[in-house]
Amino acid sequence: MDKQSIQIDFAGEQYDATSKYLQRNSDYLVFYPKTWLPVDVSLVLTITASDLQKYG
């Protein structure tokens, strides 16, 4: 999957392919949030993968 196809919404912040917090590591995409994770707090992590290919 191309890094350009990924968007991450985490703790009120949005990350995409231009973010230094989303990096390719061999066959994996690695996400490093820019803030520390608080203890005993519920957080929502949404990862969206889109097909950016053009058809027809």
- Burial class for 9, CB neighbours closer than 10 Å (0-12, 13-18, 19+): middle
For 5-44, the pLDDT digits (tens) are 778 888 788 888 788 888 877 878 788 887 887 788 887 8
What is the average per-residue pLDDT within 45-49? 78
Measure the CA dihedral 12/14/19/21, to 10°.
40
List the structure tokens of 26: 């061999």
